């Protein structure tokens, strides 16, 4: 099946309120935050993983936004928070930017004449401990539809050490291939941005260095990205952004394989400084440092306001009206290499 056809299928499968990739127009006022937090209820038999996939979120994002809620048996009539608000990575906003700590890919397509610039963002399955994805700049070096997988010697050796069943040296294209149906090769050795035949792992540290996408997201990105597209991979567990003059921060579980070059407070301070420099306004933002330091002590999927004084409660989620969730569960049969059937 051609990539464009699969992308069209996934658009039908995802349906409103979200397309397969979360697509937003870039702010024209210098802000660096897109999207909005949503709340759904009356979810029927859906799991949090069903809801996450419908809204193009990863496992850690949906679970982190709903502490104490069972991923597999959430309350049917409870309020399920859908954290579809994202702080964009630092500029330049060109090509593909990946934050491995955030477990998210941002694609900034070049706008056509008269078109508003936009960003498309996808959740990722990222590397597990001991298999770090290289950081830095590279490009999309090749594109493969229906890829085969030549299992690296390092993975064979790992499985032997751990007493796991051996793998074949060659896994042919098809539904049982862990690379799924679409793969983008980066300029980093053996590092691909690819689909998967186990989409429930999106948002988790599950790979040997590659970056996994939901099958429908991989099809969409594959159809849009050209060979030579720049790729920038960063590890930023503390992401700072602004809405106008208001400052916000999200924090994520730091990836253990990258040595921290600075303390959390230094990282946040540096991120604020970069944001101000990019806006051409040093010292622009008022920062409540007690809030900022508190936010570095845990995972905060939903951006935390840093400009508000102590005692001011952020009640964004509480004020958000719950919408009825109209979709049936994807079902276990959708945990495969193809985009899910229309619900």
Q: Residue 255 in contact with residue 100, Cβ under 8 Å?
A: yes
For residues 250 and 129, state if they share a domain. Answer: no
For residues 217 and 267, state if they share a domain. Answer: no
For residues 184 and 295, state if they share a domain. Answer: no
| Residue 109 counted as domain residue | yes
Among the listed residues 194, 208, 300, 327, the single catalytic one is 194
For residues 125 and 176, state if they share a domain. Answer: yes
Q: Is 194 a catalytic residue?
A: yes
> What range defines the domain where residue 230 resides?
3-234+323-334
Measured CA to CA in angstroms, residue 173 lies from 91, 124, 128, 144, 277 at distances of 37, 22, 24, 10, 47
For CA atoms 236, 225, 222, 185, give the dihedral sign: negative
Q: Residue 140 in contact with residue 186, Cβ under 8 Å?
A: yes
Residues 296-339: pLDDT tens digits? 988 999 999 998 887 777 888 999 999 999 999 998 888 999 98
User: CA-to-CA distance for 306 and 184, rounded, in angstroms?
Assistant: 37
pLDDT surpassing 50 at residue 19: no
Residues 138-159: pLDDT tens digits? 999 999 999 998 888 888 787 7
SS3 per-residue string spanning 136-195: EEEEEEEEEECCCEECCHHHHHHHHHCCCCCCCCEECCCCCCCCCCEEEEECCCCCEEEC
Residues 60-110: pLDDT tens digits? 999 999 999 999 999 999 999 999 999 999 999 999 999 999 999 999 999
Among the listed residues 10, 14, 210, 327, the single catalytic one is 210
| Residue 340 counted as domain residue | no
Q: Is 210 a catalytic residue?
A: yes
User: CA-to-CA distance for 279 and 97, rounded, in angstroms?
Assistant: 19
């Amino acid at each position: 099946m051609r990539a464009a056809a699969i992308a069209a299928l996934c658009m039908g499968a995802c349906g409103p309120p979200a397309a397969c990739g979360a697509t937003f127009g870039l702010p024209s006022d210098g802000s660096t935050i897109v999207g909005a937090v949503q709340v759904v209820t009356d979810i029927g038999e859906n799991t949090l993983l069903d809801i996450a996939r419908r809204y193009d979120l990863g496992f850690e994002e949906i679970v982190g936004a709903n502490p104490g809620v069972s991923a597999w048996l959430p309350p049917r009539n409870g309020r399920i928070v859908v954290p579809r608000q994202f702080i964009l990575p630092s500029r330049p906003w060109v090509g593909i930017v990946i934050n491995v700590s955030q477990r998210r890919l941002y694609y900034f397509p070049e706008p056509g004449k008269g078109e508003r610039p936009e960003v498309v963002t996808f959740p990722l399955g990222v590397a597990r401990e001991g298999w770090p994805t290289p950081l830095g700049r590279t490009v999309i070096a090749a594109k493969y539809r229906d890829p085969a997988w030549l299992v690296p010697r390092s993975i064979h050796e790992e499985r032997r050490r751990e007493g796991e069943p051996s793998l074949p040296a060659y896994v042919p294209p098809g539904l049982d291939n862990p690379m799924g149906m679409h793969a983008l090769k980066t300029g980093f050795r053996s590092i691909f941005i690819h689909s998967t035949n186990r989409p429930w792992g999106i948002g988790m540290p599950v790979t040997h260095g590659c970056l996994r996408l939901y099958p429908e997201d991989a099809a969409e990105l594959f159809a849009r990205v050209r060979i030579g597209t720049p790729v920038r991979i960063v590890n930023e567990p503390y992401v700072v952004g602004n809405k106008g003059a208001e400052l916000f921060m999200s924090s994520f579980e730091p990836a253990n394989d990258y040595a921290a070059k600075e303390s959390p407070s230094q990282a946040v301070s540096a991120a604020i400084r970069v944001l101000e420099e990019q806006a051409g306004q040093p010292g622009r933002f008022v920062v409540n440092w007690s809030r900022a330091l508190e936010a570095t002590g845990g995972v905060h999927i939903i951006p935390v306001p840093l400009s508000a004084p102590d005692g001011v409660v952020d009640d964004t989620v509480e004020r958000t009206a719950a919408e009825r969730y109209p979709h049936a569960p994807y079902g276990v049969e959708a945990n495969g290499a193809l985009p899910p059937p229309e619900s």
